[in-house]
Amino acid sequence: MRLVTFTAGGQERCGRLEGERVAVTAARSMDELLAAPGAPEVGSLPLSGVTLLAPLPRPRTIRDFYAFEAHVKNARARRGLAMIPEWYHAPVFYFSNPNAVYGPGAGVPMPRTTGMLDFELEVAAVIGREGRDIPLEEANRHIAGYMIMNDWSARDVQREEMKVGLGPAKGKDFATSFGPWLVTPDELADRREGFRHRLDMVARVNGREVSRGNLADIHFHFGELIARASRDCTLYRGEIIGSGTVGTGCLLETEAAPWLQPGDVVELEVERLGLLANRIV
């Protein structure tokens, strides 16, 4: 299934995307729909007649990991730094801002304090079932679905923060985009390879391709991320687990284009998960 949150007639609703139509459900929020995926249908609308929001406009939390080895190596090499041996010991993450979420097509405000605005091409998993100290072999059963994630980054602000040895903080918490829909795991079963999925990932700025990678290249897979996040901590339905940036999945790594400016359109496309586009405003 492809699950969506949308507005129509001034109301926020949730539904299941079926071709070019949205089956409107009785669920009042995505959290309710995740709790009862078979919620009864109460109407149908054309996709062209609704405005899609982020699948979870108000997530409980956002944990964004650092799980692609190529991204870490590339970003550090740009600064003349070697790889961190400790990175291989366990996946690490930071908490982002669940109150600064943007959906597909939404304008993303450029922070006033940055001259180095960047995107990050990622995939996010949404927790669908509560768990604590989740064993690795059971972790995937706690995933309700996957969606595209753009972890917007103010690189100059982030750089100064990280010198202190804490963060990222203000370099990240102004915006995160998700969408266009949440794809349930059964839709991706034929692309699964062990604990990973083989899905092409592409980023474009103003229509020009600047990044290409694959979700199967992730070093720490989502099962490992969930097991780590749930250690001594309960994960609840509606929490988001980000993969971190795929290799070459940002301007910081490649300088494939100038830093983003107002008016630029960033498109992130992941096979089977759709296309997430936002304009900088």
Q: Give the pLDDT confidence of 64-116 residue by residue, as tens digits.
A: 999 999 999 998 888 888 999 999 999 999 999 999 999 999 999 999 999 99
* 71 counts as catalytic: yes
Indicate the pairing of strand 51-52 with strand 2-8: antiparallel
Residue entry with tokens 């936002």: 278
Main-chain dihedrals φ then ψ at residue 191, nearest 5 degrees: -105, 10
**Which residues neighbour 47 within 8 Å (Cβ) at sequence distance 6 or greater?**
17, 20, 21, 22
Distance, CA of 182 to CA of 18 (rounded, Å): 13
Closest CA to 91 of 247, 242, 274, 262: 242
Domain boundaries, the chain: 2-52, 62-280
- Per the DSSP assignment, residues forming a β-bridge with 43 are 24
Indicate the pairing of strand 121-127 with strand 240-242: antiparallel
Distance, CA of 66 to CA of 151 (rounded, Å): 12
pLDDT tens string 12-56? 999 999 999 999 999 999 999 999 989 999 999 999 999 999 999
Catalytic residue among 71, 142, 197, 221: 71
Which pLDDT band, with edges at 50, 70 and 90, does 255 fall under?
confident
Residue entry with tokens 């490992």: 224
Distance, CA of 200 to CA of 141 (rounded, Å): 23
Task: Determine the 3-state secondary structure of 46 from DSSP.
Answer: strand
Distance, CA of 72 to CA of 70 (rounded, Å): 5
Question: C-alpha 15: how far from its chain's center?
Answer: 20
Which pLDDT band, with edges at 50, 70 and 90, does 250 fall under?
very high
Superfamily of domain 62-280 in the CATH hierarchy: Fumarylacetoacetase-like, C-terminal domain (3.90.850.10)
**Which residues neighbour 48 within 8 Å (Cβ) at sequence distance 6 or greater?**
20
Q: What is the reported pLDDT for 167?
A: 85
- Name the pTM for this structure: 0.97
Distance, CA of 258 to CA of 167 (rounded, Å): 25
Q: What is the reported pLDDT for 257?
A: 80
Q: What is the reported pLDDT for 78?
A: 84
Q: What is the reported pLDDT for 135?
A: 97
Token pair for 200: 């092409």
Q: Tell me: pLDDT of 256 over 80.
A: no
Token pair for 268: 């992130």
- Over residues 271-280, the mean pLDDT reads 98
Q: What is the reported pLDDT for 70?
A: 96
Provide, rounded to the nearest whole percent, the portion of the chain with pLDDT above 90.
94
- Over residues 194-219, the mean pLDDT reads 97
